Structure 1
Amino acid sequence: MRGRVWSGRSALGVGVGITAFLVSIVVATVWLLSLTDGDDGAGIANVLALPLTMLLGLPPLIWGWRARPRADDPLVLAREARRLLDVVATTEARTLATLLGDTGRARPADVGFAQPEAAQVTWRTDGGTVTGSLNTVTDFYDTLELGRLLVLGAAGSGKTVLVLQLLRDLADRARPALESGGRTTVRVPVRLSLPSFIAPTSTVDAGLLRAALDDWMTRQLTVRGTPKAIARALVDNGWVLPILDGLDEMDPDDGDAPRAQQVLAALNDPVGSAPGPVVLTCRAHRYARLARKSGGVLQDATAVTLQPLDAEQVISWLAYRFPDSTQQDGLQKRWRRVATTLRKHPRGRLAACLTTPLRLYLATAVFQSPDTKPARMCEMDADELEKFLFAQLVPALTRHHPRDEHSHYRPDDVGRWLTTLADHLAVMAKRGQSGVDLYPLRLWGTSKSATRTRSHTAVLSGTATFFWVDNSLLDYALTSGLIAIVVGIGVYHGEPWKSAGNIGRVNLRALVVAVLLNVAFVVAYHGLVASYDYFWVLLLWMAVHAFLFFLVTDPQHSIERPSSAIRLPLWTECVSSSFFVFFLYLNSALQSDDGLLWETFSLATLLDAVPLCAIGVVAFLGVDGTAAHFVSALRTKRGDELPRRLGQFLDWAYHAGLLRMSGTATQFRHRELQDHFTTVRTRRTARPRRR
């Protein structure tokens, strides 16, 4: 039986019940205290008030709790699938526009594909026509019996663009079925970055690997805002079509690709009577090596290999990007020599470069300005042209995309900062983590001053813990010191307890409700302690307080710009931890086993709480793992590795087309571009560290 989830009705019922319980016990206790005298007045008042609070609070509380629908209820799944589809469609539309370096109605080139020759296929296929193109990829997918598609191609051939087009078409087709409000299962296409999947290294059983892959997909859906129980039900009940991007990016290029083999074993494990539908991308040579050396193939799947664009397709797309209806081919005059050369030498060095989507993008980005001369490319040999396009990309983008209204980034600075990002990802890949997904708050972990940052963070967190514990919770310096030492050691040697991709946003309405409930509990504390044991009352308050702490943040399924991956976590952690620490201090300062110490309460009490709460927040962030970024960001000597305003630079790089977003992760727009900025000393030539 699946777990249950909160709905609007159930949350309202529980909220009304809790509010009625707390308000009624406060009102009834105060009223009855005014009617009773003597030392036992408080106890008598609370005993008489308890039935009233139960009468008013329990019915809506029980009704709301029992009204929670099951996570696998088809109506619940359909409602969440509609929301997830909207999120995916919007996010991936932005991603496609970024990859194409275009705005408005971005249209990719109609790249073609074909199934490999029968002699090259050593696995069972899933049917399908022999050839197709980007514009007809959805029709091709419909001809597959099981919906298992393998997209192969050379580096920069447009694999991601093809699956994005397939995702958009499938999303458009799924939307009417979901909006009709029916209970029929509708598959929502979701693109997931495979390098972030980390399976247990010792696991070889296909069933266990499949379970690990399903768990990972569930976590990826929760990052996109789906509650965990519903995400699991969506995966298990076939509401998700996984589009797994980057099988070739999971392992070093010269290794045996153990992680890729694990993924293939998991995907080949039957789901019911047959393997489940999936779309998988991989470089052609990498997949051929997997099939040849380890026998790792995707069974019951149809493979298609992307074909280079022909000269007419390139000219047609250039005319779409640089239109001029008065010129031949509807293409701007400055591109005429390029079009002529492509037609005259359809297999020449210029055609060999521009018929791959990545190089075509590089050319359009470098020669975007009307005062540039694309004809220069016709005079270069193949190697010179390749180096020229990659080398001129950053200067061209810095020229066309200003940093602000009055200034531009310097190309040398941008290149150096991008190298830092690429080297960070290379180091993460060697550590067995994703070498594609970038999380800015983790950049300090691979910097030259990582050890110094850990030391400073540990000292800061330990010191803050000592002062806060000693002044607000305990009066014993020795005990506080021991706690501070343990916290400092844990911060130095530990890792953040939250996943890098989990980003939350403060829910202001939930925060206001949580504050009011805490205040009501503090007011009711006097009567509760008079009737019940101090320990149990304090334990109840701590449980309620911790529960409310986790409710004041909402998970973010995706972010619109890279800087949000810095700003949102820091703001959310500061607000939520301030809420937790302040009321924890206020409770300990105003309460005792004799009841509420109203005589100690004054404005000075609140003013005294401010510095102690600030210290407590620092201690909390140290334990949480977020303080390390503060320490790294506030260092006065950062060197030239990264800009001072990292978020602003990442946003600029995203809007300029150098980076793209995948959920809450930032990625280079293409793996070849990432490799271009990676230095030799950090290239992926070693095996990932076993964990």
Structure 2
Amino acid sequence: MSGHRSRLGWAPAWVACLAVCGAVTLAGVAVGLDRADKLASVGSFVLAAVALVTVRGGRSGKQTASAATRRRDELLEQVAEAVAAQWRDEAETRGLTHPLPLSMRWSPADPVVMDRLTAILDGPVHAEDEDLAREFYLSGGLGEIADAFQRLPTQRLVVLGQPGAGKTVLALQLTRELLRRRQPGAPVPVLLSLASWNPAELHLHEWMATQLETTYPVLRAPAPTVRSRTRSLALEFVQAGRITPVLDGLDEMAEHLRPAALQALNRALSGQPDEAAPLVMTCRSEEYHHLFVPGAVGSSDTGGPTAQPLAAAAVIELCPLDLDDIEAYLLQATPASQRAKWDPVLQHLRTQPQGPYAQALSTPLMTSLAHSAYSQTAADPAVLLAPEFTDRSHIEDHLLDRLIPTAYAARPTPDRDSDCWTAEQAERWLCFLALHLHRRGNRDLAWWELILAIPRIGRWLMYPLPASIWLTFWTVAASPGWWWEWLSVLGLALSIGPAGPSRPSVTEIRTSNVAPSLKTGFALGAICSAMGIVVDNLPDVFSGQWCLCRLFDGLLSLWLPVMLFGGLAIGLLKLLFDNPVDTSHSASPRSVLRADRASTLVLALFTASVFVIGWIFVLGFDALAGVTYVVVAVMFAGCLRASGQLFWVRAWLGLSGRLPWRAMAFLDDARQRGVLRQVGAVYQFRHARLQDHLVANGSKSHQR
């Protein structure tokens, strides 16, 4: 596995510089100039050591132009491998490879929503040949999607369809097939969810780079270059056209942002170095049509459309499933001895091909839900013919209602990290999560944003709680009667305000790097201490007052602790800022949480080391007071980190019954059961229809 440095560059040296300056100033005020001078000596040498670590790493990053090019190519191949592994596993988890892929087909969309055919085909097309050209380029089936995409001269494609028509599945399968056909050095197709993009705040390239850095650790590195280290590898690949974006869910963006998103896409495509600039995008048919129809939702009130079609992009629309495809899919997974139970339903579909049952099962989503609820269980699908199901929406709501009970009827497999949650518990917790996302207008379920699910008063108490625990101990055990300090610090903690979400750290701390980093740190700490001993004793040597006893006294009381704790601090900084990234996989919610916990632990140990040096050994204050300050500093640091906030989320929401204590295990288990899906480092509900359905159910329960 390859490794490279973080882009933070000189950040450790600047952090250490500010810390030393602040410590010296406080020491001069608190304990006098003599000890402050000694503190300055210690700080300057520690700062020199940190700078040495940084400069050493910076020099090692210099490369020749040819070496930088080779490195870029190597990293691009690692990205392709990580993307392929990610979607191979996700396709298996979503059941897209078995029992039988649904035979989806598509046809040309309404010409009003696409660019001129001559622009799409990059050449003149005679009027009498337009229908033939559309049929050739814009018609096909699931297995032909990659061929159709690569036939397009511009390789720009928009996929439309009604809710549940299989747009995301088509985009996923297209990504996998393009990766399978990809040649070394070619652009890498990457599937991204558009739900989190706000074109009013972020340029398309910046948003894509942020998403890529979160999901693929290899792209968090600075770009290999001879001169500048300011651009991330993700941003360089995006701007150079080495990433083919497969953008899923324009309809999942806020309604007022969709026209701006199309305009931003057109601007970004026109600025690409390669005029072809391949791109794939999916959207619901109705929402996409409204962007170009005057007076409709998403259009201006002045009578003119607010968006222009995606430049040179072909637009296709997914067709409803055929009855033969529905029958083959439902029967294939049903045991032969039970296939007869489908006869009444299939007979009804054939006698009423335009009825509500046929309409409901015309989408892959509803057909797959029927398959899960009835083909894989002993339940009788004839219930679908009940007289209370008078229209399509009633049947779809019934199938959505069956999903969670069916998913949680099966016990988890032995290798699955889960508790035996009941369907009632799971539905209650999932309704809460769906309502949380609905209030925020979001589709991405990021664990580090669950802090926003806590009421404002709960988030306000995050900081005063550790302060209260520490100050109570300090008042009772250390300094009885200091109630005024208790109130002042508690008031300061309250003044911070309610906690907001903190993005998790992207730095991966691996155990194999701990020993080398600490070894370097202790070595530099020993050098700093030796230089400090020399500087501390030089005045006595020149004045003739030097003695061996004073040397040993300074060594034991100051310089040996500085060597140990200073070396630990330097080693931890090196571990945090100069840590190789694992490039063999894409990030998952679990791996992001582990990385943030590890970096939080390293920062906590660094904070403790600095406090021990400054408070106890340099300033000479009471050890008990120093320990209490270390504890409160670490607790406050934890409250500012995403993984520390998750602990508060688990406690608050767990005690209130809104989520289980093992929230991450529950989310991962829901993904394994097919209720949630994983998109990089975040979860999403299996389908937006499911999320909306749970929102409606949760709202009804709340009203009752």
Q: Tell me the TM-score normalized by structure 1.
A: 0.73
Q: Tell me which of 129, 136, 147 is aligned to 2:144.
A: 136
Find the counterpart in structure 1 of residue 316 from structure 2. Answer: 304
Change (3 A) 1:423 1:635: closer
Q: Tell me which of 425, 434, 440 is aligned to 2:437.
A: 425
Paired amino acid for 2:84: A
CA–CA separation in structure 1 for the residues paired with 2:509 and 2:421: 33
CA–CA separation in structure 1 for the residues paired with 2:410 and 2:686: 18
User: Retained in 2: the 8 A contact 1:549–1:580?
Assistant: no
Specify every segment of 5 or more residues in structure 1 that has no aligned partner in the other structure, as ranges: 1-5, 15-49, 179-184, 202-208, 430-434, 471-476, 684-691
User: Retained in 2: the 8 A contact 1:115–1:304?
Assistant: yes
CA–CA separation in structure 2 for the residues paired with 1:636 and 1:140: 48
User: Retained in 1: the 8 A contact 2:164–2:364?
Assistant: yes
CA–CA separation in structure 2 for the residues paired with 1:630 and 1:10: 30
Deviation at 1:277, TM superposition (A): 1.2
Aligned-partner SS, 1:276: coil
Find the counterpart in structure 2 of residue 347 from structure 1. Answer: 354
How many residues matched? Answer: 584
Find the counterpart in structure 1 of residue 443 from structure 2. Answer: 436
Find the counterpart in structure 2 of residue 356 from structure 1. Answer: 363
Residues 567-586 of structure 1: CA deviation (Å, up to 9, x unaligned): 52563244223331233234
Aligned-partner SS, 2:245: strand
Aligned-partner SS, 1:642: coil
Deviation at 1:373, TM superposition (A): 1.5
Q: Does 1:77 align with 2:75?
A: no
Find the counterpart in structure 2 of residue 97 from structure 1. Answer: 92
CA–CA separation in structure 1 for the residues paired with 2:178 and 2:385: 40
Change (3 A) 1:666 1:263: farther
CA–CA separation in structure 2 for the residues paired with 1:71 and 1:469: 61
Specify every segment of 5 or more residues in structure 2 that has no aligned partner in the other structure, as ranges: 10-44, 122-135, 222-231, 294-298, 300-305, 476-481, 538-561
Find the counterpart in structure 1 of residue 408 from structure 2. Answer: 398
Change (3 A) 1:187 1:529: same
Paired amino acid for 2:270: D
Residues 639-684 of structure 1: CA deviation (Å, up to 9, x unaligned): 232223212321221111000111110110100101001148989x
Find the counterpart in structure 2 of residue 550 from structure 1. Answer: 577
Find the counterpart in structure 2 of residue 318 from structure 1. Answer: 330
Written as runs of structure 1 = structure 2, the 5 A alignment for 1:233-632 is: 233-252=236-255, 255=256, 257=258, 259-272=260-273, 274=275, 276-292=277-293, 293=299, 294-322=306-334, 324=336, 332-379=339-386, 380-382=389-391, 383-402=393-412, 408-429=420-441, 435-447=442-454, 450-462=455-467, 488=493, 491-493=496-498, 495-496=500-501, 498-499=502-503, 503-531=506-534, 546-551=573-578, 554=581, 567-568=593-594, 571-588=597-614, 592=618, 613-624=630-641, 626-632=643-649
Deviation at 1:188, TM superposition (A): 0.7
User: Retained in 2: the 8 A contact 1:464–1:616?
Assistant: no
Paired amino acid for 2:199: A
Deviation at 1:489, TM superposition (A): 5.5
CA–CA separation in structure 2 for the residues paired with 1:412 and 1:238: 48
CA–CA separation in structure 2 for the residues paired with 1:69 and 1:227: 21
User: Retained in 2: the 8 A contact 1:123–1:298?
Assistant: no
Give the share of equivalent positions with the same residue, in percent.
Answer: 23
CA–CA separation in structure 2 for the residues paired with 1:478 and 1:531: 45
CA–CA separation in structure 2 for the residues paired with 1:578 and 1:261: 45
Q: Does 1:652 align with 2:669?
A: yes
Find the counterpart in structure 2 of residue 665 from structure 1. Answer: 682
Change (3 A) 1:247 1:10: closer
Aligned-partner SS, 1:634: helix
CA–CA separation in structure 2 for the residues paired with 1:408 and 1:189: 38
Paired amino acid for 2:663: L
User: Retained in 2: the 8 A contact 1:553–1:572?
Assistant: no
Deviation at 1:351, TM superposition (A): 2.0
Aligned-partner SS, 1:73: helix
Q: Tell me the TM-score normalized by structure 2.
A: 0.72
User: Retained in 2: the 8 A contact 1:334–1:373?
Assistant: yes
Q: Does 1:161 align with 2:166?
A: no
Paired amino acid for 2:676: L
User: Retained in 2: the 8 A contact 1:423–1:678?
Assistant: yes
Paired amino acid for 2:610: L
Find the counterpart in structure 2 of residue 126 from structure 1. Answer: 120
Deviation at 1:374, TM superposition (A): 2.0
Root mean square deviation, CA, Å:
4.4
Paired amino acid for 1:198: N
Paired amino acid for 1:674: Q
CA–CA separation in structure 1 for the residues paired with 2:85 and 2:94: 15
Change (3 A) 1:140 1:480: farther
Written as runs of structure 1 = structure 2, the 5 A alignment for 1:191-206 is: 191-201=191-201
Which stretch shifts more, 458-467 or 355-364? Answer: 458-467
Find the counterpart in structure 1 of residue 32 from structure 2. Answer: none
Find the counterpart in structure 2 of residue 215 from structure 1. Answer: 206
Find the counterpart in structure 2 of residue 187 from structure 1. Answer: 187
Which stretch shifts more, 377-386 or 191-200? Answer: 377-386
Change (3 A) 1:510 1:492: farther
Change (3 A) 1:490 1:190: farther
Which stretch shifts more, 576-585 or 255-264? Answer: 255-264
Paired amino acid for 1:281: T
Paired amino acid for 1:232: L
User: Retained in 2: the 8 A contact 1:7–1:69?
Assistant: no
Change (3 A) 1:62 1:134: closer
Deviation at 1:531, TM superposition (A): 4.8
Deviation at 1:397, TM superposition (A): 1.4
Change (3 A) 1:369 1:636: closer
CA–CA separation in structure 1 for the residues paired with 2:281 and 2:189: 12
Change (3 A) 1:62 1:310: closer
Residues 201-257 of structure 1: CA deviation (Å, up to 9, x unaligned): 5xxxxxxx6xx21111112221211234322221122211100111111114xx574
CA–CA separation in structure 1 for the residues paired with 2:595 and 2:5: 29
